[in-house]
Amino acid sequence: MLSRRPDERWEGAARRGKLRAFMWNWVHQLAEWGRTDVPFAVVTVTECKGSTPAAPGAKLLVRADGTFHGTIGGGHLEQLVLQDARGCLDKGEARTFRYPLGAKLGQCCGGVVDVFVEPVNHGPQLYLFGAGHVGQALCRILEGTPFRVHLVDERAEWVQSPQVPASVARHEEPWDEFATNAPWDDRRTYVAVMTHRHDVDQAIIDFVIQKPARYIGLIGSDTKWARFRQRLEAKGLPARQVGRVQCPMGLPIGGKSPQEVAVSIAAGLLQLHHGLSPEPGPQPLPAPLLSSEG
């Protein structure tokens, strides 16, 4: 049996030690990133054949902006894996990849590396402004669906209500503090505005139509929206931004109780998320009002 030189034995032990340390770092980083709402992908080396720079179980955590933690051996292989992981994040899908380490990758190892890429935190996020009766009912109905709900209301007795499921992220703070610090995404972010004051609704809509979001909904009647729209256009906001707002919200199911209104809104959100309804576009102009006061 061939024996290795002492320095080779030490190098092997060091590599094993680094692998153990890396695995602990990976667990810590996964927990840290998992507490945020920023999407990332977990890349796991599932199988290696022949000579490869990676080992089964090696992991990378990758964000869409290119930030990553860990390594699967570096070099062109790692760069290609990072690129493919960001592609999975972009599509929100998990998949496997196989990388033959030949001339095409600029490597001469001759082995093959298989990896599995799984997106995390890539589901839809609903920013729900207003923890009133309809808001709380909507939180309950969306429990167990792909939506991660952020309930925003500075009224402690409403946002901290026991009627709100534990899975809902509660933000007991002014709407503008939350909206300024929240991440916005044109595919993952959904907005529902239903506070207890029309002036607050108006201010929120004014802010969010200038942010990337897949859906922006406002609870209320055609008349309410006509007044809001006049005020927004009077400020010089582009029609394409103003027209993003869906008001009234939800599907026309006929009911008016808080629970029924919430069912209607939830159905519309889920339909859009699952690709069963057209992407929201500019809304038709409402009938002109005789007065713009109110």
At residue 21 the predicted structure's pLDDT band, cuts being 50, 70 and 90, is very low
Q: Is the peptide bond before 119 cis (omega within 30 degrees of 0)?
A: no
Judge whether 57 and 47 are in contact, CB under 8 Å: no
Which secondary-structure segment (H or E) carries 150? strand 148-152
Instruction: Give residue 16's pLDDT.
Output: 42
User: In this predicted structure, what is the pLDDT of residue 124?
Assistant: 94
Cα–Cα dist 92/164, whole Å: 28
- End-to-end, the C-alpha distance of the chain in Å comes to 91
The pLDDT of residue 116: 96
- Please state, in angstroms and rounded to a whole number, the distance separating the CA atoms of residues 222 and 227: 9
How high is the pLDDT of residue 290?
A: 39
Instruction: Determine whether 50 is exposed, middle or buried from the number of CB atoms within 10 Å of its CB (0-12, 13-18, 19+).
Output: exposed
Q: What percent of the chain has pLDDT over 90?
A: 63
Look up tokens 């610090």; give the residue.
181
